[in-house]
Structure 1
Amino acid sequence: MINIRRAEQRGKANFGWLKSRHSFSFGQYYDPEQMGFSALRVINDDYVAPGMGFDTHGHKDMEIISYVTQGKIAHKDSYGHEKVLPAGEFQLMSAGKGIYHSEYNASKTGELRFLQIWIQPNEFGQAARYQQQAFEQTGALTAVITPNGENGTLQIKQDATLYRLRLAAGEQVNYPTTETRNTYVHLISGELTLDGQPLQPGDGARITGIGELRLASRTSAVEALVFDLP
């Protein structure tokens, strides 16, 4: 079954310096029907004004993924990491037993846009860990985060894999999921169809009980994130 939630149905937040759309309940936005999907808890589409950002705050026992689609993030944390995350790179912060960090728009003139993603771990109370990497797109679907960190991917503390999907206009690919796994697709840009059902940017799709999924672009190039979840 494919259950699509449209971009305009997402929660909204506007703090002036931060504008965000929430795929699931987060902060002041609460919907008991939108508390996550499998181990996936948060997808926030964040727009951050120049020079602004999130002051130092803490996390515990959560796998936190950031994917920048425009601009750069200036990251600093309590484990001594001071990094810049540019567009196209993935960051995975395993909060473990506890970590404090801040995130700011590294530009004083341009807007920052990034996806903030939280996945509940299957290991708790472990040491925190920071990972960051750029990935060459090796095919339509490129694994960037896996449970074991194979083939140079980032390693997550959960039985979950994150793929970046990129399709040229008119291209399609079959994604071999199984009926016992859960799949979630978040469309970043372009027009995508899932087994013929159309998605627009910002749409999210929960997929269950399907053995194979046909992903096809329509009239323009497509970028999306595909989650394989327990």
Structure 2
Amino acid sequence: MQTLLHKAGTRGHANHGWLNSFHTFSFGGYQNPERVHFGVLRVLNDDTVAGGMGFGTHPHDNMEIISIPLSGTLEHKDSAGNHGIIQSGDVQVMSAGTGIAHSEKNHSSSEAVQFLQIWVFPKQRNVTPRYDQQSFRAEDRHNQFQQVLSPNPEDAGVWIHQDAWFHLADFDAGFATEYQVKQPGNGVYVFVLEGEATVAGQPLSRRDGLGVWETGTLQVQATTATRLLLMDVPMSL
């Protein structure tokens, strides 16, 4: 088993006033050659956008882009005519493929929106752009892993063009379980949204990240009431 620890305080940080953003991997003005990606996981941004503000229309191509709101509401519009509003409990995906332009803005004029923006390298280039969003029940992740993303349109959650699986979990203090890696050659990046937990023997706190690979299972124990995001991704680009 190999592990890679990213403490919350070591992330890149950019505060633009309307946008307060923490970068687990190199992004924008934060460039760290030792933190470019974890397998096909390229971007993990922890963003807070002030009321009435947001990212204007800008282009993407050949990237799977996932947005997970943590609080507030986020509004999406794109050049394919898609328009969606998502909030905590929702997961949104955009396969940029051959190219698409989109905007992401705070739907509220007064309340901040906090969300994760995640980029994953696709296994197929130049696919037809697509957009999807789904809502997930909080009770379905209480003391269990709730699958919110997969490579299979017929499976639970939204899907992307990559052999990746995302799970959310809300664990009670003291709860212990085991996560089974979905595919040989995949690793798991665990991001602590709230609380404290021990993962693969490593104590983690709020907003810490831990990459684990070369193993088929992952031991997880919540120290306090804890919310986790697990991203099970191929380690080879």
TM tier relative to shorter chain: over 0.9
**Structure 1: gaps of 5 or more residues:** none
- Equivalent-residue separation in structure 1 for 2:140 and 2:68 (angstroms): 18
Aligned twin of 1:170? 174
Distance in 2 (alpha carbons) for counterparts of 1:150 and 1:2:
32
Q: What amino acid maps onto 1:107 in structure 2?
A: S
Give the TM-score, by structure 1 length.
0.95
1:179 to partner: Cα distance: 6.6
Q: Alpha carbons of 1:179 and 1:81: their partners in 2 closer, same or farther (altered >3 Å)?
A: closer
The aligned amino acid for 2:113 is L
Equivalent in the alignment of 2:5: 4
Identical aligned residues as a percent = 42
Shift of 1:210: 2.2
Q: Which amino acid aligns with 1:173?
A: T
Residue number in structure 1 paired with 2:201: 196
Could you tell me the TM-score, scaled by structure 2's length? Answer: 0.93
Distance, in Å, in 1 between the alignment partners of 2:140 and 2:81 is 32
Q: Which runs of 5+ in 2 are unaligned?
A: none
Q: CA deviation at 1:62?
A: 0.3
Q: Find the counterpart in structure 1 of residue 84 from structure 2.
A: 83
> What SS is found at the alignment partner of 2:102?
strand
Letter in structure 2 aligned against 1:123: Q
* Match of residue 100 from structure 2: 99
**SS at 2:155's partner residue?**
helix
Q: 1:185 maps to what in 2?
A: 190
Q: What does residue 224 of structure 1 align with?
A: 228
- Secondary structure class of the residue paired with 1:8: helix
Deviations 1:185-204 (A, max 9, x none): 11111111113321111111
CA deviations 1:10-43 (Å, max 9, x no partner) are 0011111001000000011100000001000000
Q: Does 1:207 align with 2:212?
A: yes
Q: One-letter code of the match for 2:221?
A: A
RMSD of the TM alignment (CA)? 1.3
Return the alpha-carbon distance in structure 2 between the equivalents of residues 152 and 143 of structure 1: 6
CA–CA separation in structure 1 for the residues paired with 2:178 and 2:192: 16
* 1:1-230 pair list within 5 angstroms: 1-136=2-137, 137-139=139-141, 140-177=144-181, 180-219=185-224, 221-230=225-234
Looking at structure 1, the residues matched to 156 and 218 of structure 2 have their Cα atoms a distance apart, in angstroms, of 26
Q: Is residue 179–residue 208 contact of structure 1 (8 Å, CA) maintained in 2?
A: no
Distance in 1, Cα, partners of 2:215 & 2:128: 36
Amino acid at match of 2:140: T
Deviation readout 1:60-88 (Å, 9 max, x if unpaired) = 01000000001000111111111111112
